[in-house]
Structure 1
Amino acid sequence: MGFPADLIKWYGEHRRSFPWRENSLTPYQVFVAEMLLRKTTAEAAEPVYKDFIKQYPELSSLREADIEEIAELLQPLGLHNKRAKAFKDIAEQYPRGLPDTRGELLELPHVGPYIADATICFGYGREQAIIDANVARIYSRLLGRDFGTGHQMYRNQELRELIEADLPETEFKDFSWALLDFGAKICTARSPNCEQCFASDYCEYYQTASE
């Protein structure tokens, strides 16, 4: 079947459920989730996300909000002052709503390639490769190649092209979420669960370790 099809099948049985993965969300709601998930866990972000969206349902509602109140709401996640300032700056810079191009998103405060790509893919529903440390690790092990870390990883054109080639035409959201879940559950940074992995027959990392 190949890795993309195998991954989608695995995801159907092991997907994680979070409020920001609902199909009816606006780009703003997805963007908020990705901003909150930065340098924290999904489990920690979930209750804060629900309260944040309830209190600030649109980008315009942040424009009139008090920055101290925003920071207080975000306090459980850490970096709350920086996050609050970023939200305020973005709301003031884009009074008509969130930008809808990758280039404009990358110009926003505290927005890097991952947040921009995730907003385009999950929020605007366009085919867009998603790259983070989990995804880079999966492809590095699967293919036996070094795609770098940090900024190297995001700028690695070979890695981006490989992921773009694997994106299913109609299930690209599920594929991207599946990569994130697979990296969290199976292909973990330390002690990967290779014995439970569907890709062990063709994974270079596993084949090499088994020799």
Structure 2
Amino acid sequence: MTDAGELADLVVPWFARNSRDLPWRRPGFSAWGTLVSEFMLQQTPVARVVPRLLEWLERWPTPADLAAEAPGEAVRAWGRLGYPRRALALHACAVAIAHQHGNRVPDDVDQLLALPGVGAYTARAVASFAYGRRHPVVDTNVRRVLARAVAGQAEPGPPSTRRDLEAMAIHLPDELDDARSFNAGTMELGAIVCTARSPRCGECPLKEVCVWRLAGYPDYTGVRRAPQKQYEGSDRQARGAVLALLRESASPLAADAFAAAVTDGERRERILTGLIADGLVVRDPAGFRLP
């Protein structure tokens, strides 16, 4: 078992030398920008997020700026980041911050958790990275690093918010700057070195203490998560095609405008009904439009 504090002593200086230059890590980056980045980074690669994030913050530099727009504008600006319900949640979050928190992103985890679309990870990430609060922050990359370095497993088991936060908290430094760097550094380590496939163990700052490496890289034998459904040809792809047409149109579209994107009429109706139920599309007398 790796001693508490040992991981931080290795990860924090490694991160200081190897962290990528990303907007949300630069001095003066706003808490609102951090919140927006965390919404965008959910299940979306950094390279796709950065240009969209910068465009978003130039257009809406504060929550009130976004709250003043219709929700459909957030969906339109979201572009092809995927999972567009995040855009609606972020708009609702901006409205709540503007109206309930004086246009300032809260620094308290409980207040952050009360915002629309903000879960355990996002609340702690904003509190830690934007405000320097001492909270464990756990994402997929962190879980993988802890599984290998501490538990000696090739992969983390099924996620558990309570268990995962406790596992990270054991190793969290007391000093605030070090705690924030350890959170960010462990994520960075999982993202660029301790990757799911082809980890570069020779470059890892934890190579001398990693239980998985010292045990000879045993295979994972625990419960695996169900594989993600194929995107190509899926309803999710069809939903994206419908939304793309609506983002590009300044006026409502009739149902037959989506025929080329979703050729099967029954499926097209199902897609539109689902998008309406999710609040991403509105039906009015002129046709279908963004909310």
8 Å Cα contact 1:4-1:168 kept in structure 2: no
Structure 1 stretch displaced more, 167-176 or 122-131: 167-176
Alignment of structure 1 residues 87-166 onto 2, 5 Å? 87-94=90-97, 95=99, 96-97=102-103, 98-144=105-151, 148-150=157-159, 152=160, 154-156=161-163, 158-164=166-172, 166=173
Q: Deviations over 1:95-116 (max 9, x none)?
A: 2223332112112222111111
Q: Deviations over 1:108-160 (max 9, x none)?
A: 2221111111100111221221111111111121122676433x1x2115314
8 Å Cα contact 2:93-2:115 kept in structure 1: yes
Change (3 A) 1:160 1:174: closer
Shift in Å, 1:168: 4.2
Partner Cα distance (1:145, 1:159) in 2: 13
Percent identity between the two aligned chains: 26
Q: Secondary structure at the match of 2:177?
A: coil
Q: RMSD value over aligned CA atoms? A: 2.1
What is the number of equivalent residue pairs in this alignment? 207
Partner Cα distance (2:150, 2:58) in 1: 43
Change (3 A) 1:169 1:2: same
Structure 1 stretch displaced more, 22-31 or 90-99: 90-99
Q: Deviations over 1:49-103 (max 9, x none)?
A: 00000000001111111222221111120122x1232122222223222333211
Q: Secondary structure at the match of 1:77?
A: coil
Change (3 A) 1:67 1:4: same
| Shift >4 Å, 4+ stretches | none
2:91 is equivalent to residue 73 of structure 1: no
**Structure with the bigger percentage of helix:** 1
Counterpart residue identity of residue 174, structure 1: S
Alignment of structure 1 residues 1-211 onto 2, 5 Å? 2-80=6-84, 82-94=85-97, 95=99, 96-97=102-103, 98-144=105-151, 148-150=157-159, 152=160, 154-156=161-163, 158-164=166-172, 166=173, 168-209=175-216
8 Å Cα contact 1:186-1:194 kept in structure 2: yes
Shift in Å, 1:33: 0.8
Q: Secondary structure at the match of 1:137?
A: helix
Counterpart residue identity of residue 2, structure 1: E
Partner Cα distance (2:198, 2:175) in 1: 29
Partner Cα distance (1:108, 1:134) in 2: 25
TM-score by length of 2: 0.65
Q: Secondary structure at the match of 1:76?
A: coil
Partner Cα distance (2:92, 2:72) in 1: 14
8 Å Cα contact 2:8-2:171 kept in structure 1: no
Shift in Å, 1:13: 2.5
8 Å Cα contact 2:90-2:117 kept in structure 1: no
- Give the greater-gyration-radius structure (CA): 2
